[in-house]
Amino acid sequence: MRPDPVSSGAFAEALFAPDLPSPEGLKGREETRPQRRFSVYRNNVTVSLVDALASIFPTVQNLVGEDFFRAMARLYVAAHPPTSPLLFSYGESFPAFLEGFQPAADLPFLADVARVERLWLDAYHAADATPLDPAALGEISPEHLASTRLQAHPATRMIRLRHAAGTICRLDRAGMPLDGVNPFLPEAVLITRPAFDVSIEILPSGGATFFEKLLDGHALGDACLAAGDQAADIPALIGIALTSGAFAAIDLLPESERP
The residue count for the chain: 259
Instruction: Look at the pTM and tell me if it is higher than 0.95.
Output: no
Low-confidence ranges of the chain (pLDDT < 50): 1-12, 14-15, 20, 31, 40-41
Q: What is the dihedral of CA 49, 54, 55, 61, to 10 degrees?
A: 170
**Could you tell me what percentage of the chain is helix, strand and coil, using 3-state DSSP and rounding each to the nearest 5?**
50, 10, 40
pLDDT in tens, 167-197: 999 999 999 999 999 999 999 999 999 988 9
Q: What is the pLDDT of residue 12?
A: 46
Whether the Cβ atoms of residue 3 and residue 25 lie closer than 8 Å to each other: yes
Longest dimension (CA), the chain: 82
Rounded CA gap, 7 and 93, in Å?
28
Q: Running DSSP on this structure, what letter comes out for residue 61?
A: H
Whether the Cβ atoms of residue 235 and residue 210 lie closer than 8 Å to each other: no
Mean pLDDT of the chain, nearest integer: 85
Q: What is the pLDDT of residue 1?
A: 43
Instruction: Phi first, then psi: give them for residue 156, nearest 5 degrees.
Output: -75, 130
Rounded CA gap, 169 and 167, in Å?
6
